[in-house]
Amino acid sequence: MSEQRKDSAHQMRPIWFFVGELLIIIGLIVALTGLWELHSPPAHKPVLWELHTGIWWGLVIVFFGGVLFFANRKARV
C-alpha cells in the first residue's frame, strides 16, 4: 500500500508544460522589447517599421505558450 502512495505522489509533468512556460517567458520578452522600441524608436528605422513585428510576434508566442501551458497543467505522466 505504501508503494502505491509513493508512486502517486511522484508523478511528473509532461515536457509540453515546461515548453509552454518557456514560450510565455520568451514571448513576453519579445513583446516588451517591441513596446520599448515603439516608445523610443531607433535613429534609422528598418524596412516595414510600421508593422511593429516585435509586438505581434511576441503576442503570438505568448498565445501558443499559453495554449501549451494550460492544456498540460493538470496532465500527469
Q: What is the pLDDT of residue 74?
A: 84
Q: What is the pLDDT of residue 4?
A: 57
Burial class (CB in 10 A: 0-12, 13-18, 19+), 40: exposed
Whether the model pTM is above 0.85: no
**pLDDT tens, residue by residue, 27-37:** 999 999 999 99
Strands of 1-77, DSSP E: none
Residue 5 predicted with pLDDT over 80: no
Residue 50 predicted with pLDDT over 70: yes
